[in-house]
Structure 1
Amino acid sequence: MSIASGARAGARWALVAVLAANMLVDALEVSATLVALPAVGSGLGAAVTRVQWIVTGFAAGFGGALLLGGRVVEWFGRRRVFLAALLVFAAVSLGGALTDRLDLLVATRVVKGFCVALTAPTGLAIIVASVPAGAARRRAVSVYSLFGAAGFCSGLLLSGLLTGAAGWRWTLAFPAFVVSALFAVALRVVPREPGVPGGGARWRAVVAGGALTSAVLLLVDALASWRWGSAGAAAVAVLVCVRAERASPRPLVNTALLRHAPLVRSALGAAALNGSYVSFLLVAALDLRRGGWSAWETALGFLPAGAPLALTALHSGRIAARLGPARAVAAGALAAPAGYALYPRSGAGGAQYVELLPSMSLVGLAFVLAFTALHLQATGSLPSGLQTAAGGLYQTCVQLGAALTPALTAALYAASGRSAALWLVTAVGVAGAGVALAGLAHPSNDPS
């Protein structure tokens, strides 16, 4: 019997608790590794251009596999995919913490990104299928969203504590124990569902999804290491993906969505915002460590950049509705580069917490204003039948921004130092602001 068809309310909320807790773990993966990144680099003797893979590999696995992940869930069912992804996530978390080889650690990060591409959207789908429509479902979705927003702050604090007190390996290993416990509970509370009959042309979807992921990974390598061979191989992978998509009777990307201006603007704006945000914190983490800051001090310094989103998560939709999505996006997109520009240019060696506060606070404000509004702007004016597909394409672009921009930023940081890297981050933020301001010129497309 499914939960939706008559199980107790307590069982429903046990399910929501497991799914929300897993969403929190998924969300903390980026912030935890950003704080721990300098310690990992020191521990493994890796240069910035190599150690950045710990962040970008995760985002590449997530973004590259997200569209294919939705199809995998259709083929094998929500329960089986969710449980399998939890097991793999726990195993590779422990493996990454134990290895002394950076290439193996990066491989575990890519696999974890793929697992999150399966669990994050599937968790929400399980809630929608298992909790009755109405107030109960609205509360469940709110809890799920709140835990996702709180994950970034949790990752900062957890990484600051564990990296400083026990070492970076415990920061990477900690999710394995949490997710293993969640798996044990999920076996009991995640409802079973009828098997989904297999459709044709699965291999084309796998080829397209695999080629897309390969293209992203190769582009990250090309940007981080200035390898033209990787750039050429990425172009070939893109062609393979396009050919597989064109030959498929049901491609991963609905090409009609690429002609929808609000979606395209939102996807580009979100990629610029998320990419510049992660890149900014990457530069700051390396800079603060060079200036003598501990992992815990860095985590506290980053907190104003993440806490506002967690504190306003339940109200973000109302904020976007009050301002109008296009205006909220524009305000947030302007706040982000302003924050980047205010980062202390004199160097972190003499920087104090109060000097970081204006910069980090503006970056946090940017996410409060723009992140939910971008999603609303991307999908709000589309027919309901296309919103799920549009959401997947939008989230893919969000993660691709977090994979590609930090790779180029790390290369510039290694070659020319902090100042040049910050100029790049600010330029990407300004480009995102330009896209957002263009949206103000098209009020008819604003779903408000």
Structure 2
Amino acid sequence: MTESSAAAVTNSGGTTADPRRWAALAVIAAAQLLVVLDASVVNIALPSAQQALGMSDVAKQWVVTGYSLAFGGLLLLGGRMADLHGRKRMFIGGLVGFAVASAVGGLAENTATLLTARAAQGAFAAFLAPAGLALLVTTFTDPGERGRAFGIFGAAVGTGGVVGMVLGGVLTDLGSWRWCLLINVPVVAVIVIAALKLLGESKISGPVRYDLPGTLTATFGVGSLIYGISLAVESGWDSPWTISFIALGIVLLIAFVLIEKRSKAPMMPLRIVRDRVRGTGYAVVFLIGGALYAFYLFLTYYLQVVQDYSPLRTGLAFVPIGVGIFIGSMVAGRLLGKMSAKGVVLTGLGAGVLGIGWLGLLQPDTGFWTVVMPAQLIVGLGIGAALTTVMKLTLDGVDHNDAGVASALTNAMREIGGAVGISALNVVAISVTAASGVIDDSSLTDGYAVAFVVSAAVLAVAALLTAFAAKSAEQV
């Protein structure tokens, strides 16, 4: 499936393996880090960009939402195109497009140009991300090596958001908000050069056939769902527009499933999600995304609004969870050869529940080093281990012809879960704060604390799914 001009070596499974696979993994992980990083790197730079371009508050929100909407809406299409036309080709094409969009955004002189560039970044990321993950799956065929490879990949995914916040603060403070986008250009150039030399091509054998009805319903269904959820943050869950877009998204996704049942060349073969272990894994990824994205949001609010942290100090304050995720992901990659995946996931989710639940005790004067830092470290260790393992489970055993779309579904579930988590828990935090009748540091902290407790409960539900919905203790 994967072509390489280098001499092959034999892995423990008795099949040939590309001797450059670990270097190729570094390229894939670096690209994934860039995709995740860029979703958060502009957050801290937004106030400066808003002032420089004269953006309204609504337009400012679309700098973030536009990226997420394009990324989430086009993921399944990007994954299927990688399967059909070649994962390496889509990976490199996505990188080049991402760099061009970054350059346009970094040089933008008005709001419309910046918003268009951010949406283009998300669109190209939707073709890049599933292609990279599919290349990992097709490159590492040995179970032991694949576990370690997913550990490294999971570290890149998990730490990307934290690196983005720190980098955004540094670049904005020392230079300009524009560098949060322009820095992608030289980084992508290095990754593309390495990818051309190190990655082998893989794709579906046989004729290329498109499922146009499935493509349209999946793309617009996921896009409408994410957009509707994002509207809930501003307009509330009872807003007619929120309800309409969410309902439309659900209807389109139901139509998508019905179309895929009958299609001779389905965009997403339903066999991918019918497997009980894999289906459970996608649900757990959704729940982890919801809890983790909300965790980042409310801790940022607490540090900046209640404790008056500067943007740069806020970014640096998230280093502990980044370190925890990195260590947890790497340890999980090693543990998968020594204990069951189910044990790794449950241990990781248990640590996540403990760490996020601990922040339910927050007070306006809670110390960073005594509570916030150790809680972050525990959350990072747990989520790093659990998410890395679950991502591997969602792709283990997938037919190589379906690797791209299966990878895209993993990314889509995390993205949709994050959108739902932020919107739903934002309602919880606002309701608790409003119930006090006074908006001050104490009532705001109470709202954030309850949101953390609910986030911990979401992870507990993920743990229950892991424990009871798997085929056997050996498989999950």
Settle same-fold status: TM greater than 0.5.
Answer: yes
Partner of 1:221: 230
Write the distance in 2 (CA, Å) between the matches of 1:274 and 1:357. 21
> 1:379, 1:387 within 8 Å by CA — same for their partners in 2?
no
Write the distance in 2 (CA, Å) between the matches of 1:270 and 1:10. 31
- The aligned runs of 1:280-299 (5 Å cut-off) are 280-290=295-305, 291-299=307-315
Instruction: Specify whether residues 7 and 384 from structure 1 end up closer, same or farther in structure 2 by C-alpha distance, changes over 3 A only.
Output: closer
Write the distance in 2 (CA, Å) between the matches of 1:273 and 1:443. 17
> 1:387 Cα shift?
7.9
> 1:263, 1:379 within 8 Å by CA — same for their partners in 2?
yes
Is 1:19 equivalent to 2:28 in the alignment?
yes
Write the distance in 2 (CA, Å) between the matches of 1:400 and 1:304. 25
Q: Which amino acid aligns with 2:164?
A: G
Q: Which amino acid aligns with 1:374?
A: V
Partner of 1:326: 342
Is 1:433 equivalent to 2:450 in the alignment?
no
Q: Secondary structure at the match of 1:4?
A: coil
Q: Secondary structure at the match of 2:4?
A: helix
Write the distance in 2 (CA, Å) between the matches of 1:441 and 1:197. 40
Deviations 1:247-268, CA, capped at 9 Å, x for gaps? 3333333334544443333322
Q: Which amino acid aligns with 1:402?
A: G
Instruction: Specify whether residues 390 and 185 from structure 1 end up closer, same or farther in structure 2 by C-alpha distance, changes over 3 A only.
Output: closer
> 2:344, 2:386 within 8 Å by CA — same for their partners in 1?
yes
Q: Which moved more, 1:358-367 or 1:59-68?
A: 59-68
Instruction: Specify whether residues 42 and 405 from structure 1 end up closer, same or farther in structure 2 by C-alpha distance, changes over 3 A only.
Output: farther
> 1:72 Cα shift?
1.2
Write the distance in 2 (CA, Å) between the matches of 1:34 and 1:324. 38
> 1:307 Cα shift?
1.0
Partner of 1:307: 323
Is 1:251 equivalent to 2:263 in the alignment?
no
> 1:161 Cα shift?
1.8
Write the distance in 1 (CA, Å) between the matches of 2:344 and 2:146. 27
Q: Which amino acid aligns with 2:93?
A: A
Partner of 2:252: 240
Write the distance in 1 (CA, Å) between the matches of 2:146 and 2:50. 44
Deviations 1:83-121, CA, capped at 9 Å, x for gaps? 221122112223333446666545544432332232233
> 1:15, 1:189 within 8 Å by CA — same for their partners in 2?
yes
> 1:271 Cα shift?
1.6
Deviations 1:327-351, CA, capped at 9 Å, x for gaps? 4333333433433343363337x75
Partner of 1:317: 333
Instruction: Specify whether residues 138 and 362 from structure 1 end up closer, same or farther in structure 2 by C-alpha distance, changes over 3 A only.
Output: closer
Write the distance in 1 (CA, Å) between the matches of 2:244 and 2:314. 38
Partner of 1:346: 363
Write the distance in 1 (CA, Å) between the matches of 2:113 and 2:179. 17
> 1:3, 1:12 within 8 Å by CA — same for their partners in 2?
no
CA RMSD of aligned residues (A): 4.0
Structure 1 residue runs of 5 or longer lacking an equivalent are none
Give the one of 146, 149, 155 matched to 2:164.
155
Structure 2 residue runs of 5 or longer lacking an equivalent are 9-17, 434-443
> Going by fraction, where is helix more abundant, 1 or 2?
1
Write the distance in 2 (CA, Å) between the matches of 1:303 and 1:171. 18
Instruction: Specify whether residues 124 and 273 from structure 1 end up closer, same or farther in structure 2 by C-alpha distance, changes over 3 A only.
Output: closer
Write the distance in 2 (CA, Å) between the matches of 1:426 and 1:55. 26
Give the one of 92, 113, 128 matched to 2:122.
113
Partner of 2:4: 4
Instruction: Specify whether residues 269 and 34 from structure 1 end up closer, same or farther in structure 2 by C-alpha distance, changes over 3 A only.
Output: farther
Deviations 1:265-306, CA, capped at 9 Å, x for gaps? 332222222222122212222332233322332222111111
Instruction: Specify whether residues 313 and 105 from structure 1 end up closer, same or farther in structure 2 by C-alpha distance, changes over 3 A only.
Output: same
Instruction: Specify whether residues 106 and 316 from structure 1 end up closer, same or farther in structure 2 by C-alpha distance, changes over 3 A only.
Output: farther
> 1:156 Cα shift?
4.0
Write the distance in 1 (CA, Å) between the matches of 2:425 and 2:446. 11
Partner of 1:274: 289
Write the distance in 1 (CA, Å) between the matches of 2:420 and 2:34. 23
TM score, norm. by length of structure 1: 0.80
Write the distance in 1 (CA, Å) between the matches of 2:459 and 2:285. 8
Partner of 2:391: 375
Partner of 1:95: 104
> 1:337, 1:429 within 8 Å by CA — same for their partners in 2?
yes
Q: Which amino acid aligns with 1:435?
A: A
Write the distance in 2 (CA, Å) between the matches of 1:155 and 1:394. 21
Write the distance in 2 (CA, Å) between the matches of 1:87 and 1:385. 25
Deviations 1:405-424, CA, capped at 9 Å, x for gaps? 22444566677445335423
Partner of 1:420: 447
Write the distance in 2 (CA, Å) between the matches of 1:161 and 1:408. 31
Q: Secondary structure at the match of 2:384?
A: helix
Write the distance in 2 (CA, Å) between the matches of 1:367 and 1:60. 24
Deviations 1:376-430, CA, capped at 9 Å, x for gaps? 55455x6767984655433321221122322444566677445335423531430
> 1:308, 1:368 within 8 Å by CA — same for their partners in 2?
yes
Identity of aligned residues (%): 23
Partner of 1:77: 86
Instruction: Specify whether residues 169 and 215 from structure 1 end up closer, same or farther in structure 2 by C-alpha distance, changes over 3 A only.
Output: same
Q: Which amino acid aligns with 1:232?
A: S
> 1:44 Cα shift?
6.7
Instruction: Specify whether residues 404 and 39 from structure 1 end up closer, same or farther in structure 2 by C-alpha distance, changes over 3 A only.
Output: farther
TM score, norm. by length of structure 2: 0.76
